[in-house]
Structure 1
């Protein structure tokens, strides 16, 4: 199979460089790319999708025809052939580093699907590589571009002294061993580093890196299957300020649930996907904010923001250095589960 797959309706010569939009490519055409990042690029007024890349020939041809852009089976060939301003990287976790380094070597900025890296040491090395190359890298954390989530601080200021956090992100996957996500050597871990990355980001955004972590994990949801990436984790965390809480993550416990509840001396803030509420301590709703069609809008906002980061007009809210805290939290969870002791992630 050739590195560049051409169809009659999509050839490099058919497209001229936009004078106003940044030229972007997507590597990895899985569910996340097709449901979030490609629509985000197509809806952006700051970016233009000009190329896609995937090792799966059938998927590549189908999406190339649908999107009318150049298709590549090899990322290096795409980087050499296309004049790209940035690339959206949506590949299995163990493949991310190679693509980031290839992009950095050519001065191509990177919008990276979470996680930033598979380990804290890898994250530190990639952060240095991005700095040496002078490129912007931003990890895709769509919730930071959703008004429901950005309203949290405003409501939290109205509930007195917060003292406990209850958070959960669960969904049901019938077979946790299926695909690359079931194996640590490819995914770096299970529900904590993968789906849990979003809730970890929320906790760090709202409360900062905790002083203590105590975690327990399970790979027992399907004893009849062979996998070593945790299917479920229960994480206790606390701060020297007195705030403490728990985070439940699971790839096996249904139904799909995502929520953060902050309890204070004068009320409660309850955040869930698409809605945030402020309540009294006995549960009466004081105010509520809901948003429909939040995710497509957030994907477009994220792309537009990154374009402005590249242009020097906005701060990078989720750059390499910022994501070192995420990997410190995650490594603290794995270390705690391994040693069955409290871990201070700030020491990592």
Structure 2
């Protein structure tokens, strides 16, 4: 019997999950919840039940697990309710806007004996997993440098611009991908972090950073640089690893694709004119079906969770330390880094407050 999922959210990323689930026999989306668009979403994707309140979904829907595709500030209450109801949880990244809420989520799921997995799709992207296999096979020798860049021109939903909901800007939104990927590729956790942040394109919309450069120093001396951006027209998603005997590069944006040319005068709203690269199966290339399949296997106890809540908590800790480093002008900050800030970005914004130490 497939793992029955209750999907909380009906926005862009929820649509990606609905599309990905169709490729995974081990799961089925049995219900969706959204305050305004659940019924339309359910009709579009053939989901049997729709709720206008996620609380009703958790209480009433016949589901085994909850997939949280909602804004960051809702992750904690949804997770607590799901855990109390005995439901496994797949939560979109980051776990929460800050460490205290994320820790509460991990603890609640641990007490309830349910799985908490953070949805870090790049850890399942086939191209990046192939890179990892080549590194582990010794193709480039011992790796000592890693660079990961991911970015676009800005978020797709209004709540991302609100730091009280998101917890930060490009660093917490996109940087979590690169940090998690770097740790998986190097099979280690960093011992220190340094970061610089900037506001280039979106300062009028948010006090958050729209570009972040994060340096990670690992035990043994390996270095990684993660670049996360909301200020990168055209976008990017690439990985480079250098070792003692060679170098590997992988670019998801150059993954198998179809070239499409659209005349400027014929482009409709939301469409880009000129040449575009259209991925023939974007969800698969970015690891979403594989992530759902792994969630089902882990929930059934047949697989060791690849990115459980405790690992996502460590990534969020690194993000908090990166914000603190930016506040200190890019100085190295040692890990572990305890944080009581309700929002990760508070470590950086404190530098702009007269009361900051």
Q: TM-score, normalised by structure 2?
A: 0.81
User: More displaced, 61-70 or 123-132?
Assistant: 61-70
Query: Which residue does the alignment assign to 1:55?
Result: 35
Matches within 5 A, 1:236-247: 236-247=215-226
Query: Which residue does the alignment assign to 1:295?
Result: 283
Q: Determine if contact 1:211/1:239 at 8 Å carries over to the other structure.
A: yes
Matches within 5 A, 1:101-120: 101-120=80-99
Q: TM-score, normalised by structure 1?
A: 0.83
Q: Determine if contact 2:151/2:230 at 8 Å carries over to the other structure.
A: yes
Using the TM superposition, give the Cα deviation of residue 28 of structure 1 relative to its aligned residue in structure 2, in angstroms: 0.5
Using the TM superposition, give the Cα deviation of residue 171 of structure 1 relative to its aligned residue in structure 2, in angstroms: 1.1
- Cα deviation, 1:243-265, whole Å, max 9, x if unaligned, reads 22322211012221111211223
Query: Which residue does the alignment assign to 1:184?
Result: 163
Moved over 3 A (4+): none
Query: Which residue does the alignment assign to 2:149?
Result: 168
Q: Aligned partners of 2:313, 2:336: CA distance in 1, in Å?
A: 10
- Cα deviation, 1:203-236, whole Å, max 9, x if unaligned, reads 111222222211111134234x131121011112
Query: Which residue does the alignment assign to 1:206?
Result: 185
Which of 287, 293, 305 lines up with 1:304 in the alignment? 293
Q: Determine if contact 1:142/1:302 at 8 Å carries over to the other structure.
A: yes
Say yes or no: does 1:344 pair with 2:339: no
Classify 1:347/1:68 alpha carbon distance in 2 versus 1 (closer, same or farther; 3 Å): closer
Classify 1:313/1:293 alpha carbon distance in 2 versus 1 (closer, same or farther; 3 Å): same
Q: Determine if contact 2:215/2:226 at 8 Å carries over to the other structure.
A: yes
Say yes or no: does 1:326 pair with 2:280: no
Query: Which residue does the alignment assign to 1:316?
Result: 305
Matches within 5 A, 1:63-102: 63-66=41-44, 67-102=46-81
Using the TM superposition, give the Cα deviation of residue 87 of structure 1 relative to its aligned residue in structure 2, in angstroms: 1.2
- SS of match in other structure, 2:78: helix
Using the TM superposition, give the Cα deviation of residue 309 of structure 1 relative to its aligned residue in structure 2, in angstroms: 1.2
User: How big is the alpha-carbon RMSD for the aligned residues of Structure 1 and Structure 2?
Assistant: 2.1
Structure 2: give runs of 5+ residues left out of the alignment. Answer: 256-278, 339-357
Q: Aligned partners of 1:68, 1:33: CA distance in 2, in Å?
A: 12
Q: Determine if contact 2:29/2:47 at 8 Å carries over to the other structure.
A: no
Q: Aligned partners of 1:68, 1:84: CA distance in 2, in Å?
A: 12
Classify 1:248/1:143 alpha carbon distance in 2 versus 1 (closer, same or farther; 3 Å): closer
Structure 1: give runs of 5+ residues left out of the alignment. Answer: 1-19, 277-290
Q: Determine if contact 1:181/1:229 at 8 Å carries over to the other structure.
A: no
Classify 1:106/1:267 alpha carbon distance in 2 versus 1 (closer, same or farther; 3 Å): same
Using the TM superposition, give the Cα deviation of residue 177 of structure 1 relative to its aligned residue in structure 2, in angstroms: 11
Q: Aligned partners of 2:131, 2:110: CA distance in 1, in Å?
A: 32
Query: Which residue does the alignment assign to 2:10?
Result: 29
Using the TM superposition, give the Cα deviation of residue 91 of structure 1 relative to its aligned residue in structure 2, in angstroms: 0.5
- SS of match in other structure, 1:193: helix
Q: Determine if contact 1:218/1:232 at 8 Å carries over to the other structure.
A: yes
Query: Which residue does the alignment assign to 2:197?
Result: 217
Using the TM superposition, give the Cα deviation of residue 107 of structure 1 relative to its aligned residue in structure 2, in angstroms: 0.4
Q: Determine if contact 1:24/1:49 at 8 Å carries over to the other structure.
A: yes
Equivalenced residue count is: 309
